[in-house]
Amino acid sequence: MIVAESARLPFLNASAMTVGSVVLIPGRTLEEVETILPDLVGHEEEHAWQWAVCLGLPFIPLYFAAAGWSLLRCGDRASANLFERQAGLRRGGYPERPKRPLATLLTRAGGK
């Protein structure tokens, strides 16, 4: 894996982002991030393997679909996102929120 420290990605609200086997760390060094998240590299390495298993670019729409599902179920992009769960929520610095009951979501979607 290649680590790119102090990357300039203003749209990114995360401690790091992995693209293929490159870990982008916005605005900080790896050492600085690891004082907060000591196993972040292990988390990002799992994402690198996920990229490989998805054969590259298909990872992107699959990840966003999983993040959307998580937003719907838990109100954040990680708690029910299978990619983040597999990489380790705690290692990535994500809290685990409880899932909302599906019946509640369907009732709200129905407008009542």
> Is residue 92 within the footprint of Zn ion (CB under 5 A)?
yes
H-run or E-run covering 26: strand 22-26
By CB under 5 A, the residues from 60 to 89 that bind Zn ion are 84, 87
By C-beta, is 68 or 101 nearer to Zn ion?
Answer: 68
Q: In 3D, which of 75, 91, 2 has the Cα closest to residue 83? A: 91
Stretch that binds Zn ion, among 20-28, 32-40, 62-70, 92-100 (CB under 5 A): 92-100
By C-beta, is 47 or 73 nearer to Zn ion?
Answer: 47
> Is residue 26 within the footprint of Zn ion (CB under 5 A)?
no
Distance, in Å, from the CA atom of 14 to the CA atom of 66, rounded to the nearest integer, reads 16
Cβ atoms within 10 Å, residue 12: 14
